[in-house]
């Protein structure tokens, strides 16, 4: 019973965390009075590193739920693999490159433009779509609505 509940709850909790941090907190912090780009980048590094740790924990809980519920729908397993791949690309590929770029900007040695943030936003958007689809699929599979 608990793995089924987690199979439904975790994707939506994860969705909320990513949406709140990536699409609200990150852009808003730069509009706060007195927040310089170096200060905002420093805060962003702390926040996104913590978010990444939370995401890894949520992924592990979701993986255990998938294992224990053994969803028979192929779509659930495909979505799970997509979420895993995006998290891996962000954790091991994008975050280290973004950290290097942030340090260069803080030190004043960065090139004027980098497409890394656009790639990160795109992967986060795909991750949100996959998490929502996963959660909806889990609801359809395990919740029986009675009218």
Domain boundaries, the chain: 2-142
Give residue-wise pLDDT tens across range 26-65.
889 988 999 998 899 999 999 999 999 999 999 999 999 9
pLDDT at position 145 is 55
pLDDT at position 147 is 41
Single out the residue of 35, 34, 80 nearest to residue 58, CA to CA: 80
Single out the residue of 92, 88, 83 nearest to residue 135, CA to CA: 83
pLDDT at position 144 is 66
pTM: 0.91
pLDDT at position 108 is 86
CA distance 93 to 145: 42
pLDDT at position 126 is 98
Contacts of 7 (CB under 8 A, 6+ apart): 62, 65, 66, 69, 71, 138, 142
Residues of the chain with pLDDT under 50: 146-147
């Amino acid at each position: 019973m608990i793995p089924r509940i987690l199979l439904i709850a975790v994707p939506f909790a994860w969705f909320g965390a990513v949406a709140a941090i990536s699409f609200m907190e990150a852009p808003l912090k730069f509009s706060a009075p007195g927040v310089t780009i170096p200060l905002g980048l420093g805060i962003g590094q702390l926040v996104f590193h913590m978010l990444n740790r939370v995401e890894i924990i949520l992924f592990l809980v979701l993986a255990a739920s998938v294992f224990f519920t053994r969803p028979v729908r192929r779509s659930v397993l495909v979505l799970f693999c997509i979420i895993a791949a995006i998290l891996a690309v962000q954790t091991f590929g994008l975050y280290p490159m973004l950290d290097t770029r942030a340090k260069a900007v803080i030190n004043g040695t960065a090139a004027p433009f980098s497409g890394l943030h656009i790639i990160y936003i795109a992967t986060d958007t795909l991750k949100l779509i996959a998490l929502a689809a996963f959660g909806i699929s889990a609801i359809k599979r395990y919740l029986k609505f009675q009218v």
